[in-house]
Amino acid sequence: MQTATPQCLFQLTTEDRSTQKLHFLNWRSDRRAFFLRDEAGTVKVMEPIPPQLLDDWYFPDPPFPECPAVFVRPYRLVPPPIRASADGDPAKGPADFVRSSMERFTIPERWEHLYGSFLYPGDEATIRKQLERLNRGRKECGAEPLKPEDFLADVDGCLTAWLHARWAKAAGVDLKKIGYAHDGVNGAHWRSEAMRCLAWMKKHCVNGLVRVRDIGTSNMRECPGFVLRDWSEEAALLATVRFVIGFTNGESVYLRGLLRHEPRADEVREIEAMSSTRPPVAPWHSEDYRTVFLRHEGKEESVSLSPLQGRIIQTLDEADGKTLADAAIIHRAWCDEPPTNARPWDNFRNDPAKKLRGLLLHRFRGGLRLTPPC
């Protein structure tokens, strides 16, 4: 099926870490699914599935922003539970799970059932090697060395910390942003990414009745809303998150899953109507990424780029400019000197797509702006 020029590139990363680059065409009319085209010209429908625990939870309005999606990749908001060995079924009861050393936080049984996978220490050689490294560090700090049975019993949380750090490195997540924490400053709390997911659910999802105060009369009344009874129910919801989807406005939404299928008859008609009515999109860069076209109020100006600048434009166009390495390249390209402290890195980590595009716009021309297809 042939369609008009695609709006922007979309990168799909599956749970086995394989990637595929597609073209985002448009949202479906109900804005609960969108159309993608592969390099062969075949159109597929992708439906992002938000997190939920029960079938009667619903989203009254489309929960996703109106702008194009640029990537989907695997992501978890809580680290996996821990078992003593690799034996057993991930959905089995919690009897042989290693518990956290924190007295006020125990991994809930429902959490363990829903997660779908678990961590375990590994063979004896791996455990012995890690224990030797750990005891060298404890000796330097003046602490007593741990025995193998103490290590496997998660004394001082050593086993949990090691397995979580190893998992986070392989999964590409930041343990300081996900999961649950308990400290003397903030008390027991979910970290920032988990809190953002719960806030998004509260804004868009309905799972029951909540009591609110009427502004006019100051009386309490019940209305449809989103409420979770306790932190264990929050943990169960967060355990269902398996993907994150990103959009051109810099917003990210966490997902339970993705449904992909061939277009149905009504969707085919929608794609054909969309293709026939969409005006042609003018390119915003040359094929070799050595020239960009700046457009503003009907005026157009071309700007020649160096090879490094062209590489940056290509990175943005392919929606891959979300790593700290790319941020450092752009800093060196546009700034007088590379970053020397953590602050610029934090800025890019907070909202990388927005920061990188803004940096390019500011550097190219003060009064003009880039007008990419997306």
Contacts of 267 (CB under 8 A, 6+ apart): 28, 35, 45
Return the closest-CA partner of residue 240 out of 114, 152, 73, 63. 114
Block means of pLDDT (10 residues each) for the chain, 374 residues, are 54 90 91 91 93 90 90 93 68 44 47 84 84 87 84 84 91 88 73 92 90 76 86 90 90 92 90 68 71 62 72 61 41 41 41 50 39 36
Q: Given phi > 0 = left and psi -120 to 50 = alpha, else beta, which region is 297? A: left
With a pLDDT cut of 70, the percent of the chain lying above it is: 68
User: Positive or negative, the Cα torsion across 116, 177, 180, 55?
Assistant: negative
Q: Looking at residue 149, what is its pLDDT?
A: 84
The 3-state DSSP class for residue 248 equals coil
Q: Which pLDDT value is given to residue 5?
A: 37
pLDDT of the residue at 12? 93
What would the two tokens of residue 177 be? 């942003």
The pair phi, psi for residue 220, each rounded to 5°, is -85, 140
Which residues, other chains included, contact 200 with Cβ-Cβ below 8 Å and sequence gap of 6+? Answer: 63, 253, 254
Per residue in 81-121, pLDDT (tens digit) is 887 777 655 444 444 444 443 333 344 468 778 888 888 88
Please give the backbone phi and psi of residue 265, each rounded to the nearest 5 degrees, phi first.
-60, -45
* Angstrom distance (rounded) from CA 66 to CA 74: 22
Per cent of the chain over pLDDT 90 is: 25
What pLDDT shows up at residue 185? 63
Q: What's residue 353's pLDDT?
A: 47
